[in-house]
Chains A and B, each alone.
Chain A
């Protein structure tokens, strides 16, 4: 019985200014599976994720996607408007203000920060706000680039258990992280 894949990558290579970054990366992602991309700094983890998302184009190789409800991406940049309040930023991301959001905010200790201008929050707090759209996502595939950067221990645990629940709910995760997230994930190392 063949499972239809959500994303299939075949023989992806990437060159920048005529120098090879990585080559012949192939993998297949099905429902409730996760892929952990590892490698040293500068090995091309972010680039590979961007190729998966379709923002960058590989020098060689193909990426085929089979998604119905899209991808949810959290990269290095937060996509938050620094001069707007948290609440306004949530409106921009089409996140409704309801009970689910309130419980979530309480869990990550940001319940009373709704009308604070984002530039007044710390780096970790901004990262938590950026993670809200991951927590409330309705996509089949999560693509996360170093999601734990800046998070304190409590938030990291919260994120890890959340991701484990998502996997159990038949979603897929592709992520890069230096920190081990204790997820049942296939590992792809770019240092070859």
Chain B
């Protein structure tokens, strides 16, 4: 029964139709939320006691790194679905998320290193979280190159899914790296159980920027997935009607 349920939603054609309908709403809402959050964060929040104005890059860096890890988890989830239930749409999604994930990881690394200059005095440091995020970036690139090196698409999808799942061991390492090793990164200021350690005036724009950034990344994933689905299904009749 679960199989039937999944196969109902697994048609690329219905996916594209629903996604096309939802896209304008998602795009404009998240763009506005993010712009408001940026404006709020840049101009309306007070200075940090220690860091001055330079902490404001948090509104780009934190959402970017959070998203890069979440995208990988999304890929792992989709890969599991692909391997168990053989839903082709999942495989298309994994392949389309990979370049977006690489991009957001890159943004996280670069924004992090820009932040490092005023705060730590250096634009690069070999601490555990930076290393594991760099590993994540390399993994994204490796995933893309693995998939593109195969001419047989079905095999490529399978191997991509396996590599995503094996590499997902890196995600807990990133998250726990701040606790396991003493690093330059501060430990989590926002946890589910305790009162946040960050001032509320900075917390709200941070949440808003996280939501907005997530929405924008979802839009990018949608665009990327459209491209990949149309490319892979190009011989089907419904594609000719669609385009």
Query: Size of chain A's interface in residues, with CB distance under 8 A?
Result: 3
Contact code string B132-163 (vs A, CB < 8 Å = 1, else 0) = 00000000000000000000110000000000
A-B contacts, CB under 8 A, total: 4
Q: Does A41 contact B (CB under 8 A)?
A: no
- Complex CA gap A16/B155 in Å reads 11
B235 on the A face (CB < 8 A): yes
Which of chain B's residues have a CB closer than 8 A to the CB of A17?
A: 152-153
List the 4 closest pairs (A to B, CB-CB), nearest first.
A18-B235, A17-B153, A17-B152, A16-B152
Between-chain CB contacts (< 8 Å), 4 pairs: A16-B152, A17-B152, A17-B153, A18-B235
Instruction: Look across to chain A and name the residue whose beta carbon is closest to the beta carbon of B233.
Output: A18
Kindly state the separation between the CA atoms of A86 and B152 in the bound complex, as whole angstroms.
Answer: 36
- Please report which residues of chain B, range 149-192, place their CB below 8 angstroms from some CB of chain A when the two chains form the complex: 152-153
Which residues of chain A are near B152, meaning CB under 8 Å? 16-17
* Chain A 8-35 interface 0/1 with B at a Cβ cutoff of 8 Å (1 = within): 0000000011100000000000000000
Least CB distance, A169 to chain B, in whole angstroms: 40
**Chain B residues, CB < 8 A from A16:** 152
Distance between Cα atoms of A18 and B235 in the complex (Å): 8
Q: Which residue of B lies closest to A19 (CB)?
A: B235
Query: Which A residues lie within 8 Å of B235 (CB)?
Result: 18
Chain B residues within 8 Å of A18, by CB:
235
Q: How far is the CA of A17 from the CA of B152 in the complex (A)?
A: 7
Closest to B236 in A: A18
Q: Give chain B nearest CB distance to A145 CB in angstroms.
A: 21
A141–chain B nearest beta-carbon distance, Å: 28
List residues 38-74 of chain B with CB under 8 A from any CB of chain A. none
What's the minimum C-beta distance from B149 to chain A, rounded to whole angstroms?
Answer: 16
CA distance A17 to B233 in the complex (A): 11
The distance in angstroms between the C-alpha atoms of A119 and B88, with both chains bound, is: 44
Nearest neighbor of A15 in chain B, beta-carbon distance: B154
Q: What's the least CB distance linking B90 to chain A, in Å?
A: 19
The distance in angstroms between the C-alpha atoms of A113 and B153, with both chains bound, is 45
B159 to chain A, nearest CB (A): 16
Whole-angstrom CA separation of A142 from B143 in the bound complex:
41
How far is B231's CA from A18's CA once the two chains are assembled, in angstroms?
A: 13
Rounded to whole angstroms, the CA-CA distance of A51 and B153 in the bound complex is 19
Closest residue of chain A to B154 (Cβ to Cβ) is: A17
Bound Cα distance A17, B153 (Å): 7
C-alpha gap A18/B233 in the complex (Å): 9
Q: B174: shortest Cβ distance to chain A, in Å? A: 37
**Interface set, chain B 9-43, CB cutoff 8 A to A:** none
Residues of A within 8 A of B153 (CB): 17
Q: How many Å from the CB of A183 to the closest CB on chain B?
A: 35
What separation, in Å, do the CA atoms of A17 and B151 have in the docked complex?
9
Q: How far is the CA of A16 from the CA of B235 in the complex (A)?
A: 13
